[in-house]
Amino acid sequence: MSTTGGSGSRQHPAALAGWVAGIASAATVAVVALPFVGFAYRAPALHVALETANALIALLVGYLVYGRYQQSRRLQELLLVLALGTVAIANLLLTALPTAVTIGSDDEFSRWAAVAIRFLGTALLATAALSPVGIRLDQRRARAVILALGVVVVAVGTAGLVWGGDLPPTVDPAVELGDATRPRLAAHPLVLVAHAVGVLLYSVAAVAFTRQSARRGDELLRWVGAACVLAAVGRVHYLLFPSLYSEYVYTGDVLRLGFYLLLLVGAAREIKSYWELRTRTAVLEARRRMARDLHDGLAQELAFLWSQSRALASGPPDSAAVERIGGAASRALDEARRAIAALTRPLDEPFARVLQQVADDLGSRYDVKIVATVDPEVEVSAEQGEALVRIAAEAVRNAVRHGKAEQIDLVLAADPLCLSITDDGRGFAGTLGVAGPAGGFGLTSMRERARGIGAEFSISSRPGEGTTVLVTTR
């Protein structure tokens, strides 16, 4: 599983498991020793609600773990997904649904099937806990594991349909509920064995998951380990007082709900850690992008200004050098203003609005009319947006300085993403495409930025008819 970092003050996984074990053990002693605390309470609607909630939580957490499996392809995560899926089936289809539709109390098939499927889920969970973390599966092996589980489930269902009428009762029907405050081993021996082995499997899973969480700093496994502690104690309750009637809620049911609630807490913590990591990654990426842009833009222009000023100071006045210095100063000023605007701009501001603001700013700065037509449905990544803004700014600057343009039409369209900047300036002879001449620094910069986002870049122009810069995603 992927590792999610945490702060040093976070509680150690073993401490959390220990607290859960202590509270669950104290509750067990209270139920066994105190005569006014019962093992079972009649509440048919609550029983259905608990089983339904358990199934939904299992499906939700299973979906989250499946997302992790999609990234890592680890056997451990696949087994955990299958374990949660099987217990969700047992809770929803074999317990909650039969009770909700009031299937007769003599329906032993659903009871035995629920015991078998839950035991299978417990075995899968323990196997996941003991699986080496380094084992990864390709698509073929993953399908084989899923198919094997499906065969087992189908076999259980088929056996129930064939021999369902001959199944013995899970609990001796001669035993009345009677005193619900005293332990009674009234279930079929196979049911008692299933509960006893379940205690052992959940205990092993609790230790294994807790140790893995401590070693790898995995937040989800921390809570899975604690949840397995509750599940183990819950199996002890089922062993001491097996379920007699589905319309009753047992203390084992309450502890089993606690198992799923701890899984839900772990899932919520996992999601929180994911978004915190994503936020930190986005901030770091934004800083790196800003540093790269300042290095490639502002720093380069300032270095050029420094070298040109030294050359100008050591020789006779040169009007061409003065013009180059002026152009570099203008570009450096643009870079500084763009960096300030990027730092103060809201992170969730739509790109269409960003580009419109850039166009308005460029128009006022260079005293040129810019007609911007921007599709509001355009969605771009941060890298694409930065590249398009810089290409548009460079194209406008060239149109004003070299083409003496009076009007510039800027159009941004979606599907496919296409940016065009057309001016009414003097233009030039020839067409510069992706494979055309290198041109000046500005042209080279535009071409490289377009290539960096996987877009095609071209410039077309004719003398006296202006110039068109076109950037189109492939």
Per-residue pLDDT of the chain (474 residues; tens, 9 = 90+): 444 444 444 568 889 999 999 999 998 888 888 877 777 777 878 878 888 888 899 999 999 999 889 888 999 999 999 999 888 887 777 666 666 665 444 466 777 777 888 899 999 999 999 998 889 988 888 899 889 888 887 887 777 666 666 767 777 655 545 555 566 666 788 888 888 999 999 999 999 999 999 888 888 899 999 999 999 999 998 888 776 556 778 888 889 999 999 999 998 888 888 777 777 777 777 677 666 666 656 666 676 667 767 666 666 666 666 666 766 676 676 667 666 666 656 666 788 888 888 888 888 888 899 999 988 888 888 788 888 988 998 898 889 888 889 999 999 998 888 999 999 998 887 544 433 333 455 677 788 889 888 899 999 988 888 999 999 987
Q: Which of 164, 165, 168, 189 is nearest to 242 (CA)?
A: 189
**Residues present in the chain in total:** 474
Predicted structure pTM score: 0.61
Give me the amino acid identity at 463.
Answer: P
Q: How far is the CA of 318 from the CAs of 245, 308, 349, in angstroms?
A: 100, 10, 45
DSSP class of 169: P
Q: Which two tokens stand for residue 459?
A: 């410039």
Q: Residues with Cβ < 8 Å from 273, sequence gap 6 or more?
A: 4, 5, 6, 219
Q: Which residue has the tokens 């050098």?
A: 321
SS3 letters across 29-96:
HHHHHCCCCCCEEECHHHHHHHHHHHHHHHHHHHHHHHHHHHHHCEHHHHHHHHHHHHHHHHHHHHHH
DSSP class of 109: H
